[in-house]
Structure 1
Amino acid sequence: MVRFHQLSNSGSGWHTFSRIHVENANIAHNNPQFLPWHRHFLYLLENELRKITPGIALPYWDSSAESEAPERSIVFSNAILGFNLNPSTCEWPVQTPNTHCLSRALNSGGVMPSIVYEALINNYPIPEGFFSSSVEDSCRRPGSPFDTFRCFLEVAHGYVHNMIGGDMAFMYSPNDPAFYLHHAFIDKIWHDRQTASNRPNQYDGMLNNMAVQPTDLLSPWGTPVSNEFDVALQCVVYVPRQAGRSFQARSDREIKAPKPLPMEWIKMQGFNETTVRMIEIVMNDIITKYNKGDTISTIVQPKQSVPIETSEKEETQFFSPYCLTKCTFCNFNKYIPPPNLDQDDFVKAYLAEIKGSPKNNQWKVQSIYFGGGTPGLMNPSHVHELINGVRSTFDCMYNMEITIECNPTNIEMNKLLDFKKCGVNRLSLGIQTLNQKYLSWMNRSHTVLDSLNALEISSKVFPNKTTFDLMYGLPFQDLANWKKELNMAESHLNGHVSVYQLTVEKGTPLHKLVENGAIQLPDDDTLLEMHEYAKEFLRVKKYNAYEISNYASSLETESKHNKAYWMGFDYLGFGPGAHGRFCLGNGKRYQTIKIHAPSDWQSNATTFMDG
């Protein structure tokens, strides 16, 4: 710390580092150059320190060993880095982005524990579904093992920046000496990964829509990326972490996951929020596995599954396009049923489409999902026909999951027993909110009383096999109202629940209201508070997030169908506007989108066995 002070007081050298970091923020973050760029950055800083004291070595701070309360680390004692610096005494004046006093705002959000880093070092198998999302960014491209590792590590490193706060929360974070101790640790994790994989020169990914190369030059120095692959060339030797800390010591007390990163950091870093939230789910899954007793070897062991080109598991989904009312926020392919609708003919079209669908003799159907629209409006006998149609056409698992979506109205609840007799074994209730004012605004056809009654009945017909959804981020909603809804829902949790943020979709009445300024949506800070509160609320109830918006009380109550999307399994879609993604054993992946208009789809499916 004394040498840091001396460097800071020796002239502009110290402040130049922060300026370089700010000026090259886009090239040094959120892309494959993140790790080599910062390795060179540390090398240059260490050389400056050695001009003051020859032979001095830059230490690293293993924040993961103190993940639940890093703000209480000895690193922040007055003997080392100091605690929350006092701007009034200006203990450390800095010049970037302007002249001010270095500040910190240590908080108790927590950082990633050691087990997460150990898993990343040892090539934790990232779920295939991480790459199959429609979101395109530098982190989500398959076939880039280095850049996938880099992306996860870059998100993990953000927790420390956020926890320290102050200058560390911004791109001028090199103002704070803590920056270098933290990034030395991140660089060590990369070094450990290089050693563990025996591929020190592995480097891949995309930058500015072009594949990166080891010969690419690091700005502003003009140094090739390849010069940064071997720390020994920089006379750097990383000593092992303190004995017993390289892997979190097993105890009866569970390791806590840190709070999600705030939107401010995500935006500043240039990351896609969906990507960050998915990475948080994967890293929390590592922590959950560890808390359940898994060892590092079992956590990182690849799943014993067949490559996706010959995947055994396949899902089917029937899309029912009809609703009694149109919700203000929904942009799904939906229609009010015509008075002359012939459900028998409609079902014949579904059956014809099943018979004419693509086939792969490797497929084994593990789930059927009736979604919509409002499939609960269907006649149970028709649902039975469609289930039998799938069973007679495809090889199906004996314990196939069969889910139907229903609205909590009397007309549908009376059918529950009949649906169960037909083979349905899981229910999804479209509740959305337990606030009557919001239901009215959404133009929903049910009341809060209907919802509570439906939850009570469904728990008896489908015990531990009923899920329902709740939305946050609704117009004029605040955290207090959101807490009330979660408290109301608590006693009705039945193995599974979906909690997701309202999305403003173009073409919906909601979009027009927002565009015209007629309604006000919660700001990003409030949305983050709602998300964090719901996640912690459900964690206390022993409900774990196994997908972005889905929480389950156990592996048995997780939705096979939801998880299939997450894992990148094949699925076929039947009905107007239904989507499908699958492989046929030729190494190619296909996508299908069915005709949207129900009458046109019905005509095509009946005539050509393809909608």
Structure 2
Amino acid sequence: MYTRRNQRNLTSSQRQRFVEAVVELKRTGAYEKYVTTHAQYFAADGETGQRVAHMAPSFFPWHRYFVLLFERDLQLLDSKITVPYWDWTVDRGKNAALWGPDFMGGDGRDSDGQVMTGPFAYRSGHWTITNGVTTERYLTRNMGRPSQPIALPTAAELDGALRTAVYDTAPWNSAPSTQGFRNKMEGWTVSPAKGGYLHNRVHQWVGGHMVSGTSPNDPVFWLHHSFMDLIWVRWQRRHPSSRYQPQRPLAGRDPEHGRVISSDEPMPPWGVRPSQIMDHRRFYTYE
């Protein structure tokens, strides 16, 4: 078992090693499978077929395993690496050290959103977008969305979602009537006053490639989802008697039958069941 750390506590050497491993994964082409897999399983409410990565109860376990696989690929390159987390309730501005030229790089420029600093800038020669939803070959960001300004979620807003004791509820999608912790945290319940619109708002705040189904094109995706996983851990500790929902496959008459993953059903594309990864301590812990 190993420890994931807050990105603000990494040494300069740890930041460098993480960046170098991510860049090397990109150079070999292995990084692209994460971009394309995330895009493939980003199925919305109105689409047909199974819904697993988003707008569904399996949002948390699916991304837990997704980040874990990425982490394992990095560890094949450097066994000391773990995926750090970005606590956006603390590091809330684009001047935070997270966005420094030695780590994630900065905001996109006004003219076209192109990230010009850091190791993931196109001009560095190490980071070309090959599987985006648009034609840009360079990484883009639009921090804070100046045309319609938004702020990163606060600690109070996060606590509002963590107080929700039920994991998820019917109709198990993104509808406002889905009032469980998962939907509030994922961010389809777009009422900050009710503890919602959190995960999605972070994607919107970063902007650029982070707002699409191919959001792993921006490496900050991993730091965001490492924190999302830690938030799930905190929720589990706060509500030890609460369980993943739904526990059993939905009945044939349920409108979401065949679309929603219950506790012991396999999550594509790996065949791992949510019940198999409920306890993160089998793999890692958090500082």
Would you say same fold, with TM above 0.5? yes
1:102 match = 139
1:149 match = 181
Equivalent residues in 2 for 1:292-441 (5 A)? Answer: none
Structure 1, unaligned runs of 5 or more = 126-130, 240-611
1:82-135 Cα deviation digits (max 9, x unpaired): 00313762652122136722222222521110112123223379xxxxx9xxxx
Please state which structure has a larger fraction of its residues in strand: 1
1:238 match = 286
Task: Give the whole-Å Cα distance in 1 for the aligned partners of 2:77 and 2:91.
Answer: 31
1:93 match = 128
Does residue 3 (structure 1) correspond to residue 21 (structure 2)? The answer is: yes
User: Matched residues, percent identical?
Assistant: 23
Does residue 213 (structure 1) correspond to residue 262 (structure 2)? The answer is: yes
Deviation at 1:204, TM superposition (A): 2.5
1:543-571 Cα deviation digits (max 9, x unpaired): xxxxxxxxxxxxxxxxxxxxxxxxxxxxx
1:18 match = 35
CA contact (8 A) 1:28 1:37 kept: yes
Secondary structure of 1:21 counterpart: helix
1:171 match = 213
- AA paired with 1:237? T
Change (3 A) 1:99 1:218: farther
1:30-49 Cα deviation digits (max 9, x unpaired): 11111111000000000000
CA contact (8 A) 2:172 2:256 kept: no
Task: Give the whole-Å Cα distance in 2 for the aligned partners of 1:50 and 1:191.
Answer: 22
Match of 1:47 among 61, 69, 72: 72
1:455 match = none
Deviation at 1:55, TM superposition (A): 3.0
Deviation at 1:228, TM superposition (A): 1.8
Structure 2, unaligned runs of 5 or more = 1-18, 44-51, 108-114, 188-197
Secondary structure of 1:96 counterpart: coil
Task: Give the whole-Å Cα distance in 2 for the aligned partners of 1:167 and 1:120.
Answer: 26
- AA paired with 1:16? K
Task: Give the whole-Å Cα distance in 2 for the aligned partners of 1:117 and 1:229.
Answer: 21
Does residue 112 (structure 1) correspond to residue 153 (structure 2)? The answer is: yes
Does residue 30 (structure 1) correspond to residue 55 (structure 2)? The answer is: yes
- AA paired with 2:217? N
Deviation at 1:140, TM superposition (A): 5.2
Secondary structure of 1:199 counterpart: coil
Deviation at 1:200, TM superposition (A): 6.5
Structure 1 runs of 4+ aligned residues shifted over 3 Å read 139-142, 205-208
Larger Rg: 1
Normalised to the residue count of structure 1, the TM-score between the two structures is 0.34
Deviation at 1:175, TM superposition (A): 1.0
Change (3 A) 1:200 1:5: farther
Match of 1:80 among 91, 95, 103: 103
Secondary structure of 1:237 counterpart: strand
Secondary structure of 2:143 counterpart: coil
1:138 match = 173
Please state which structure has a larger fraction of its residues in helix: 1
| Structure with higher RCO (Cα < 8 A, 6+ apart) | 2
Change (3 A) 1:76 1:228: same
Deviation at 1:137, TM superposition (A): 6.8
1:184 match = 226
Secondary structure of 1:218 counterpart: coil
Deviation at 1:58, TM superposition (A): 0.9
Secondary structure of 2:90 counterpart: helix
Secondary structure of 1:82 counterpart: coil
Task: Give the whole-Å Cα distance in 2 for the aligned partners of 1:101 and 1:51.
Answer: 27
1:602 match = none
Task: Give the whole-Å Cα distance in 2 for the aligned partners of 1:183 and 1:118.
Answer: 17
| Equivalent residue pairs, number | 225
CA contact (8 A) 1:71 1:163 kept: no
Does residue 57 (structure 1) correspond to residue 82 (structure 2)? The answer is: yes
Does residue 202 (structure 1) correspond to residue 225 (structure 2)? The answer is: no
Secondary structure of 2:94 counterpart: helix
Normalised to the residue count of structure 2, the TM-score between the two structures is 0.70
1:350-392 Cα deviation digits (max 9, x unpaired): xxxxxxxxxxxxxxxxxxxxxxxxxxxxxxxxxxxxxxxxxxx
Task: Give the whole-Å Cα distance in 2 for the aligned partners of 1:55 and 1:227.
Answer: 25
Please tell me the root mean square deviation across aligned C-alpha atoms, in Å. Answer: 2.9
Deviation at 1:172, TM superposition (A): 0.5
Task: Give the whole-Å Cα distance in 1 for the aligned partners of 2:161 and 2:32.
Answer: 33
